[in-house]
């Protein structure tokens, strides 16, 4: 059974069809419209040709069977040759039609996926959706659902256009043979369509749910693969097995419901299709018996009736496909709505200031309202060595995220340079796939020379990583650096990337632990020589002697500033401003 919430979620509304028409119109007016127009024109031409050949085929088949019934050898051989010629032309048209459909679909999928990826990554939409948790499996929607949407949209559109052409082409043929048969066909198709919709209505919601259940099951299996070592160390296999077994039961249960609906639908559609074969003979046979029609007319009427009824019965014959398409439309509509929905309005104001980072009366809270940092007023001047410490890592993380503009909960003002001039290196850094040179490249695509990379690794005492990268890349196209490298090696490479990038400010988690106490001073000096102000983040026991100022964050939102290296006649490199908490 499908619950009311799921049925409501998968209901196809006027807004769904509006978005569908907008998607088609956007593709038709895109930068690839000329190629799309060319393929579409070829498709429509071939579609017209196929229907014309089908009509010709019905008349050739009629004369072929009549010649056979009359034992007319010359006419039989002539019609047989015509049959072969029509079959050859129909085969060529059908093959090129399929080829053109796939090429147009590929062009559309390439363009549409690129557009969705752009909007998904723009303005950190992916982060907003991840934190909100309101949209399940966006990755599957962008890959599988987009592919299915493009394929099914073209397929169904061409199918209905072909049905329209068929109705026009064969209505005259069937009307000329038997008007009662024409009327019977229309009534039969109408009744079948209504009953099919009634029987198969639950399939849209069930197919929607099945996509999510399959994705949830696959995601958990991926978690097992990506966290195999931690799983083995913590021995939590039983917990994951319970989760996987529960997801499998939900997946199988929903699939059972789909199979049950398809069974009921199959009873009707199978019998419906069988009757199509005998109805024309029941209506036209008396004409042949009375001598009012040739024998070939019976076969022609069967073909014409089958083609015409097939065009009128697309809902009956294609309902399972249409129901799957409805689920895909609903899922993509949810993705489009989530991407288009603006994020929450933040009370934190950000002002671009190219020379410093300043927090003015900055209060950061949890989404539930608990205060993490209260009324922070602190300035990080260029060239300073700043250490931010807290017992709770979440306090440091919240401050860094507010600086980067990805923390919306709170109020106050943040002054900072442009994001392109900042570097953020968390304690669990992310390393993109590719070679060491590609990894060290900046957002502008610049690939630094080997000497610059080697110099940065030399400062960090990790020059051997250069050889490790070169050796590993030769054995795999895109190694998973999360498995090949240790956590400390990934941290070292991330710090080296910041040294090579020369940002104005670099926020680095656990810098002292990463580079070691004996190298900390030289690493800070290397950042200073490159014009980078280093802001290290760590626990309260982090070594402080090499820093100018320490900002301590405490529970309940309290904070204090400690000047470590400050001459009497020298202004503080990092300091609180009026309104700070001592």
Ordered domains of the chain (ranges, CATH): 4-340 (1.20.1560.10), 347-576 (3.40.50.300)
pLDDT value for 570: 46
Task: For residue 134, give the H/E element and its range.
Answer: none
Nearest to 61 by CA among 74, 46, 76: 76
**HEC secondary structure over 181-205:** HHHHHHHHHHHHHHHHHHHHCCHHH
pLDDT value for 6: 43
* pLDDT of 12 over the 80 cut: no
Which DSSP letter does residue 143 get? I
Task: For residue 222, give the H/E element and its range.
Answer: helix 203-226
* pLDDT of 510 over the 70 cut: yes
- The rounded distance, in Å, linking the Cα atoms of 449 and 437 is 8
* pLDDT of 215 over the 50 cut: yes
421 Cβ contact partners less than 8 Å away, ≥ 6 residues apart:
354, 503, 504, 505
Q: Count of residues for the chain?
A: 582
485 Cβ contact partners less than 8 Å away, ≥ 6 residues apart:
431, 468, 493
Parallel, antiparallel, or unpaired for β 559-563 and 549-553?
antiparallel
pLDDT tens digits along 30-43: 899 999 999 999 99
pLDDT value for 4: 42
Parallel, antiparallel, or unpaired for β 533-538 and 505-509?
parallel
DSSP string, 27-82: HHTSTTHHHHHHHHHHHHHHHHHHHHHHHHHHHHHHHHHHHHHTT-HHHHHHHHHH
Bridge partners (DSSP) of residue 505 are 422, 533
- The rounded distance, in Å, linking the Cα atoms of 115 and 109 is 10
- Who wins on pLDDT, 184 or 550? 550
Angle at 105 between CA 47 and CA 159, to 5 degrees: 35
- The mean of the pLDDT values for the chain is 78
Collapsed DSSP state (helix, strand, coil) of residue 574? strand
- Given a contact cutoff of 8 angstroms between Cβ atoms, the answer to whether 101 and 155 are in contact is yes
Q: Measure Cα distances from 478 to 121, 472, 474, 481, 567 in Å.
A: 22, 9, 10, 9, 51
411 Cβ contact partners less than 8 Å away, ≥ 6 residues apart:
347, 348, 361, 362, 363
- Who wins on pLDDT, 231 or 451? 451
* pLDDT of 280 over the 70 cut: no
- The rounded distance, in Å, linking the Cα atoms of 59 and 299 is 10
- Given a contact cutoff of 8 angstroms between Cβ atoms, the answer to whether 374 and 515 are in contact is no
Which DSSP letter does residue 145 get? I
Two structure tokens written together for 104? 């147009």
Collapsed DSSP state (helix, strand, coil) of residue 376? strand
- The rounded distance, in Å, linking the Cα atoms of 467 and 486 is 15
* 226-229 long-range Cβ contacts below 8 angstroms, 24+ apart: 226/482
Rounded average pLDDT over 209-234: 76
pLDDT value for 75: 82
Strands of 347-352's sheet, edge to edge? 347-352, 410-416, 356-365, 371-381, 574-576
Which DSSP letter does residue 141 get? I
- Given a contact cutoff of 8 angstroms between Cβ atoms, the answer to whether 53 and 90 are in contact is yes
Two structure tokens written together for 379? 């300035």
pLDDT value for 537: 92
pLDDT tens digits along 425-450: 888 887 776 677 777 766 555 677 87
20 Cβ contact partners less than 8 Å away, ≥ 6 residues apart:
153, 329
Bridge partners (DSSP) of residue 412 are 348
- The rounded distance, in Å, linking the Cα atoms of 263 and 265 is 5
Rounded average pLDDT over 395-420: 89
Two structure tokens written together for 568? 């009497």
Which DSSP letter does residue 345 get? P
pLDDT value for 532: 92
Half-sphere exposure of 284 (CA within 13 A, CB side): 26
- The rounded distance, in Å, linking the Cα atoms of 296 and 65 is 5
Tell me the range of 6-15, 29-38, 69-78, 312-321 where mean pLDDT is highest. 29-38
| Phi-psi category of residue 355: left, alpha or beta, with phi > 0 → left and psi -120 to 50 → alpha | alpha
Bridge partners (DSSP) of residue 363 are 411
Nearest to 509 by CA among 356, 359, 397: 397
* pLDDT of 580 over the 50 cut: no
Strands of 422-425's sheet, edge to edge? 422-425, 505-509, 533-538, 385-390, 549-553, 559-563
N-to-C CA span, the chain:
62
- The rounded distance, in Å, linking the Cα atoms of 385 and 107 is 52
Going 39 to 41 to 43 to 49, the CA torsion angle's sign is: negative
Q: Residue 277: pLDDT band by 50, 70, 90 thresholds?
A: low
Collapsed DSSP state (helix, strand, coil) of residue 447? coil
Percent pLDDT > 90 in the chain is 17
């Amino acid at each position: 059974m499908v619950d009311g919430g799921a049925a409501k979620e998968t209901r196809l509304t006027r807004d769904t069809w509006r978005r569908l028409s907008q998607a088609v119109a956007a593709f038709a007016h895109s930068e690839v419209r000329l190629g799309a127009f060319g393929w579409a024109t070829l498709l429509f031409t071939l579609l017209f040709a196929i229907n014309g050949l089908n009509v010709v085929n019905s008349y050739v088949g009629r004369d072929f069977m009549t010649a056979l019934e009359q034992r007319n050898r010359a006419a039989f051989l002539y019609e047989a040759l015509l049959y072969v010629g029509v079959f050859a032309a129909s085969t060529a048209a059908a093959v090129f039609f399929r080829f053109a459909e796939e090429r147009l679909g590929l062009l559309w999928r390439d363009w549409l996926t690129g557009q969705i990826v752009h909007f998904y990554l723009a303005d950190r939409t992916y982060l907003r959706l991840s934190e909100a948790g309101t949209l399940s499996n966006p990755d599957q929607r962008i890959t599988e659902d987009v592919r299915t949407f493009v394929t099914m949209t073209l397929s169904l559109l061409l199918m209905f256009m072909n049905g329209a052409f068929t109705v026009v082409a064969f209505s005259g043929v069937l009307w000329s043979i038997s008007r009662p048969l024409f009327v019977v066909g229309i009534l039969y198709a109408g009744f079948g369509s209504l009953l099919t919709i009634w029987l198969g209505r639950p399939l849209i919601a069930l197919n929607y749910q099945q996509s999510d259940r399959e994705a949830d099951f696959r995601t958990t299996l991926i978690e097992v693969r990506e966290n195999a070592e931690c799983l083995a160390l913590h021995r939590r296999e039983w917990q994951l097995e319970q989760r996987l077994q529960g997801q499998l039961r939900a997946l199988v249960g929903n699939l059972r419901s789909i199979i049950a609906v398809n069974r009921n639908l199959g009873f009707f559609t199978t019998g419906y299709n069988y009757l199509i074969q005998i109805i024309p003979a029941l209506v036209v046979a008396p004409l042949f018996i009375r001598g009012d029609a040739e024998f070939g007319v019976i076969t022609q009427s069967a073909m014409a009736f089958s083609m015409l009824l097939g065009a009128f019965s697309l809902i009956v014959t294609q309902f399972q496909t249409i129901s799957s398409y409805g689920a895909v439309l609903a899922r993509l509509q949810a993705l489009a709505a989530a991407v288009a929905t603006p994020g929450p309005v933040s009370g934190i104001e950000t002002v671009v200031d190219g020379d410093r980072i300043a927090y003015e009366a900055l209060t950061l809270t949890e989404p539930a309202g608990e205060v993490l940092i209260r009324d922070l007023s602190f300035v990080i001047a260029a060239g300073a060595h700043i250490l931010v410490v807290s017992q709770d890592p979440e306090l440091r993380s919240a401050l860094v995220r507010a600086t980067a503009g990805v923390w919306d909960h709170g109020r106050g003002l943040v002054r900072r340079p442009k994001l392109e001039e900042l570097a953020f290196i968390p304690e669990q850094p992310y390393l993109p796939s590719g070679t060491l040179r590609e990894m060290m490249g900046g957002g502008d695509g610049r690939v630094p020379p080997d000497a610059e990379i080697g110099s940065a690794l030399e400062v960090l005492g990790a020059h051997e990583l250069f050889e490790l990268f070169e050796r590993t890349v030769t054995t795999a196209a895109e190694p998973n650096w999360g498995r090949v490298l240790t956590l400390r090696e990934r941290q070292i490479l991330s710090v080296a990337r910041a040294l090579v990038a020369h940002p104005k400010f670099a926020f680095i988690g656990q810098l002292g632990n990463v580079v070691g106490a004996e190298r900390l001073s030289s690493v800070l000096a290397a950042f200073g020589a490159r014009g980078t102000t280093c802001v290290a983040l760590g626990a309260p026991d982090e070594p402080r002697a090499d820093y100018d100022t320490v900002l301590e964050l405490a529970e309940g939102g309290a904070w204090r500033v400690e000047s470590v290296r400050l001459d009497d006649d020298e202004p503080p490199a990092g300091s609180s401003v009026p309104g700070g908490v001592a």
